Every structure is written in C-alpha cells, then in structure tokens.
Amino acid sequence: MELPLLHLALVGTPNSGKTSLFNALTGSRQKVANYPGVTVERKEGFFVTPMGRQVSVVDLPGTYSLRGRSPDEEITRDFVLGKATGETVPDLVLCVADSTNLRLTIRLLLELKRTGRPMILVLNMFDIATRRGVTVDVARLAKELGVPVVTSIAVRKGGTADLLALTDEISAKLAAEPQENSWRTLSVAELRATQREADRIIADCVSLPARPDTWTARIDAIVLHPVGGLVVLALILFVMFQAVFAWAQPAMDLLKSGFDMIGGLVQATLPDGLLQSFLQNGVIAGVGSVIVFLPQIILIFLFILLLEDFGYMARAAFLMDRIMGGAGLHGRAFIPLLSSFACAIPGIMATRVIDNKRDRLTTILIAPLMTCSARIPVYTLIISAFIPAKDIWGFINLQGLVMFGLYATGIASALAVSFLIKFFMLRDYAPAPFMLELPDYKMPRLKSIAIGVYTRAKMFLYRAGTTIFSMMVLIWFLASFPQPPAGSTEPAIDFSLAAIIGKAIEPLLAPVGFNWQIAVALIPGMAAREVAVAALGTVYAIEGGKEAAEQIGQVLATKWSLATALSMLAWYIFAPQCASTLAVIRRETGSWTWMAVTFGYMLVLAYAASFVTYNVAVALGAG
C-alpha cells in the first residue's frame, strides 16, 4: 500500500541555513507560490526518503519566536499550529539550528515544543561548528530537550543522510494520538525563563570555544568600518553594475545572433505575407529582444544571492541604517530596496521584514524608483545606440558610467521622495527600532545559489513566454492592421491602428521630445517595461522593412535625436509603467489609493525629468 505524502515543515531563526537545507533536500523540485490571502512567499519542495516515502517539505519564514509580529512570522506560527488556511498540519516539524549559534534556536525550540507537534532538531552547518571547536553532546542534548537531535551538513553531498534516515524512522512510528497544544503567547517573564532554560541546557551539552570566528572579525574590521565600509559598499555596487553591463555582453550577442538566425530562417523558408511577418516581426523579433536580457538578469540575481549567502546583506543594512534614516528610511529597507534592483515585485514583497507600517509604506512607495532589471533592456538599447563605447582614464567604460549614473539618479530620487514623504505626510513619526543579527560570514553555497538563480531565470522566461509574448502579438496586430491600400507608397505602419493611437497621444509627449513611435511603445510597456524595447523593434521593423528589424539600435540612432534619446532615458528612471508592480502595491498596501499615488507621482516625475532633460539637451545643441 502506498503511504500518504509525509508533510514536513522547516522552522528556524533567520540565518540558520534553513534555505540551504531546503535546497539540499529538494534540489530543483520546488514550487514557489503565495499563501492564500497574503503575499508571503510559500516555498514547497518534494523528495523521496531512502525508504521510499514521498515527502513534501515547506520552508517557513524565519522567526525568533511564535509571537508573530509580522505577516511572515504569523504564517510560521499558524502553519505549525495547523491554523493556516488551506494548509495541512505538518506531520513533523524540522527545527533548524545553526550549530555555531544555538542559543536563540534552542529557545525557539522550547517554545515550539509546546505546540505538541512531533519535532526533530537539526544541527545544521555542523562542519563549521566542529572546525571552530564547538562540541555538542548530541545524545544528551536530545535527552534534555526531549526531542530527537540530528546533525547535518547541508552543503556536503550526503550531509543530510542522517536526517533522512531519522525522518524515515520517526515517520514510521508517528503516534496516531495527536498531542495537546499548550502553546500561547509567552509573557516577558516566560520568555526570559525559556531563554534561561535554553542557556542551562546549552551549558550542559555544548562546549563553546571562547574565540569568535576570526575570519568574520577580520572581514568586519574592514567592512563595518564607519568610512571604509561605505567605500567597500560603493565598490561592490559599482563592480556589480559594470559586470551587468560588460560581462553579460558576449552571451547577449550570442543569443541575439541566434534569434537573428531563426528570423532569417523564417524569412527564407516562408513566403512573403502575414504569417511571415507575424512570426518574424511579432514573435521572434519581439520575444527575442526581451530574452536577450536573460544574461544580465542572471548576473544581477547572482550578485544579490551571493551577497545574501555570504552574509553581507545584513552588514549593508547596518552601514546604511542612519544614512537612510536621514531620508526617513529604516535600515531594514535596504534589502528590499536592493532586491528592487532586480525587480520591484520581490522587493516590495520583501518589505514585510519591516514591521512598522509607516516605514514599510515609505519603502513600498519608493521601491519602483530603484532601477529594476526590466529597465536594463531599455537603457542598454539606447546607451549602445547613442553613447560611444570609449574608455575614460583608460579603464572606465563610458557606457557603463552612464548606466551607473542612471542607477545613481534613481537612488537619489528615491531618497528625496522618501524624505518628502517623511516631511509632509508622516510627520508624527517615531523611528522604528533597527535590530538585526549580523551572521558570521559563510562561503556561499554554489548549488544553493544556482538553484536560486535558476528559479528566478525560469520566472523571467515564463513572463517572456506569457505576458510579453501576448503583448507582442497585440503590438504586431496594432502595427499591421488595417493593411495599407494597394499601391500606396508610404510605409505600411502609417495606416495602422498603432499609428492612429500613437499620433493621438503624440501632442502630449511632444514637449518631452517623444515621437509617435515612442508613444506606441510606451502603451504595451505598461505590461512590463522591457516590452517597450520589443515594441519599438516591432514598430520600426514594420515601418522600415526587414533590414530595420535586424538592428533596432542602429535604426534608433538614425531616427532619434540625442535629445530624444536622453529624454527617453530620463523617462525610464521614473517610468511608472509596470502593471504587475502596481498590482503588487495594491495587494501589499491593501489600498487602491496608494497604488494611484505611486502611479501618479512617478508619472509626474517621469514627465518632468524628460521635459527638463529634453529642453536642456536641445538648448545645448543636441536636438
């Protein structure tokens, strides 16, 4: 008889290596979704135990207690208690501990025990602990805690074997009689008593060397230096953006020639006509021009995940806390804002680590000003078409420098907007506390990072395959119909719906130097910013014939003035068009008003920035 699916839940403090363990157990067999009704990320994975038992494991948000002071922590509490809507009560809870740092986890475990769920304490990163001279009397610890204890090394092949064997052993004899849940919110006195109890057990079972991790101390001496630390942070960000611009180029060129080849193949094999135009201009040129940016998106996520895994992100928050505090932001806002460089959506979702409502709202409002990866296609296209690729001072790439400037402008305006919000809207405001664990540095786990990058790349391609693809079909349709009357000499697109719409909006955009082709491209850009590039490609391809489709950049360089190009760059620093971001803001703030406010203020900023840029550029002779 097939045994029913075994449900496991991973619980642990932040930085306990929970996610590494999750990745080690499940590999890429993961499903990422949201818990119903809230936007907390729900990560579920699957694996089979050595004895053949099918297992589902859920990676619950990290928490120090079951008090539930944020939506994430409430999920963890409700899930363990079996109160989460639409979730199965876990058969077995794996409480994951960083073996080098047991105090906080043992306290959490003592609290978890009161829920009555069957549980295993997993001493993760046991190799690091051993190397540092930490010895644990595992048998005694298990006896004192009344909970099975197992060691694991998530980063090593076979490092979870003991855990798997124990899971099999325990699940085979899981008691049929459910245990009583005696958990309730702990009072301060109880909290203190549990921590004392935890400290007593640790003193009995664990011998800790007095010396802290010397590497962490050495690195922190530089990285957390009041001045030196900020220089290091700036250097890291600078390298990151140079890398995204320069290192991704070969891979992008390769992808691009691949799509050009397929396009050429379609053109050669299919007869001239609508089907050929649809496949070549609509599908291949359109979707291709977005997929080309995959290498850059992989790189930016690679950097973010590496820094996170290494343990640097919390340091960055520490360095930026007061500086961001001057602009009315919480130090914890740094991580969501940094994630927003990849995409504002995970960034806005990550604001849940900020438990003060106002701090969170401010962060949500400015997150879309961080230059997300969807803007990279637009920036790259225009920069490579208009900014010469020369080196200044021999080693700084001018194109990279412009890119850095665009990012810097985004950051500066985000800080300015935040300052204004603090000043005008949230005046009666007391800063929320900043309390954060600075974990010891760890060598980033390549497999875990690979899985993370893979999951994100998959999401990007999925979007390219669905949203972006359907928008491209729509643009192609708008740009191709109605067809020009027979014998007309003007470009076909002049007769199309796209031209009609674009020309209707053009007067509004003329003061910022945009022509009707840009107006057409901005509309589908609402679905996703990067679509604007593909849309420009489609519009100019259909207008200019096949040659134009090959090199959007070169076409732009002949059709736009430098002033228009700069104005477009300025527009995209602020451009509010991203329906998904707006939808997430609506969901996270629970309010249409804040969504409308975001859209409105970004639109005003975009228009103003473009207007100034265009007119200054024209005055300087770039018109």
Rule CB under 8 A: which residues touch another protein?
A: 64-65, 67, 69, 100-101, 103-104, 107, 186, 188, 191-192, 195-196, 199, 208, 212, 216-217, 220, 224-227, 229-230, 314, 317-319, 321-323, 325-326, 331, 356, 430-440
Smallest gap from Cβ 422 to another protein, in A, equals 14
Alpha carbon separation from 594 to 291, 341, 584, 599 (Å, rounded): 32, 21, 11, 9
Closer residue to another protein in complex, CB, 268/430? 430
Closer residue to another protein in complex, CB, 69/83? 69
Closer residue to another protein in complex, CB, 131/225? 225
Smallest gap from Cβ 205 to another protein, in A, equals 15
Q: Rounded to an integer, what distance in angstroms lies between the CA atom of residue 136 and that of residue 403?
A: 51
What angle, 0 to 180 degrees and rounded to 10, lies between the N-to-C axes of helices 562-574 and 375-386?
160
Smallest gap from Cβ 166 to another protein, in A, equals 27
Q: Rounded to an integer, what distance in angstroms lies between the CA atom of residue 614 and that of residue 589?
A: 35
Largest CA distance in the chain: 93
Smallest gap from Cβ 231 to another protein, in A, equals 11
Q: Rounded to an integer, what distance in angstroms lies between the CA atom of residue 531 and that of residue 288?
A: 11
Report the candidate in 121, 11, 120 with the shortest Cα–Cα distance to residue 66.
Answer: 11
Closer residue to another protein in complex, CB, 98/543? 98
Closer residue to another protein in complex, CB, 216/615? 216
Closer residue to another protein in complex, CB, 18/375? 18
> Would you say 606 and 552 are in contact if contact means Cβ atoms under 8 Å apart?
no
> Would you say 285 and 534 are in contact if contact means Cβ atoms under 8 Å apart?
yes
- The angle at the Cα of 14, spanning 459 to 446, to the nearest 5 degrees, equals 50
> Would you say 375 and 572 are in contact if contact means Cβ atoms under 8 Å apart?
yes
Closer residue to another protein in complex, CB, 106/451? 106
Closer residue to another protein in complex, CB, 31/69? 69
Report the candidate in 14, 108, 87, 12 with the shortest Cα–Cα distance to residue 352.
Answer: 14
Q: What is the 3-state secondary structure (H, E, C) of 300-354?
A: HHHHHHHHHHHCHHHHHHHHHHHHHHHCCCCHHHHHHHHHCCCCHHHHHHHHHHC
Smallest gap from Cβ 94 to another protein, in A, equals 20
What the block records as the tokens of 497 is: 């719906």
Q: Rounded to an integer, what distance in angstroms lies between the CA atom of residue 105 and that of residue 113?
A: 12
Contacts (Cβ under 8 Å, ≥6 apart) of 140: 204, 205
β partners of residue 57: 8, 45
Smallest gap from Cβ 259 to another protein, in A, equals 47
Provide the 10 A C-beta neighbour count for residue 234: 10
Smallest gap from Cβ 318 to another protein, in A, equals 4
Closer residue to another protein in complex, CB, 227/486? 227
Provide the 10 A C-beta neighbour count for residue 427: 7
Specify the residue for token string 């140079």: 242
Q: Note every long-range contact of 217-220, with CB atoms under 8 Å and residues 24 or more positions apart, other chains counting.
A: 219/441, 220/315, 220/438
Closer residue to another protein in complex, CB, 216/580? 216
Smallest gap from Cβ 190 to another protein, in A, equals 10
Smallest gap from Cβ 195 to another protein, in A, equals 5
Q: What is the phi/psi pair of residue 175, to 5°?
A: -60, 140
Radius of gyration of the chain (CA): 27
Closer residue to another protein in complex, CB, 185/554? 185
Smallest gap from Cβ 442 to another protein, in A, equals 14
| H helix runs in 206-248, sequence order | 214-223, 228-246
Smallest gap from Cβ 146 to another protein, in A, equals 22
What angle, 0 to 180 degrees and rounded to 10, lies between the N-to-C axes of helices 357-366 and 398-420?
140
Closer residue to another protein in complex, CB, 16/564? 16
Closer residue to another protein in complex, CB, 357/458? 357
Q: Rounded to an integer, what distance in angstroms lies between the CA atom of residue 307 and that of residue 467?
A: 30
Smallest gap from Cβ 310 to another protein, in A, equals 15
Smallest gap from Cβ 129 to another protein, in A, equals 11
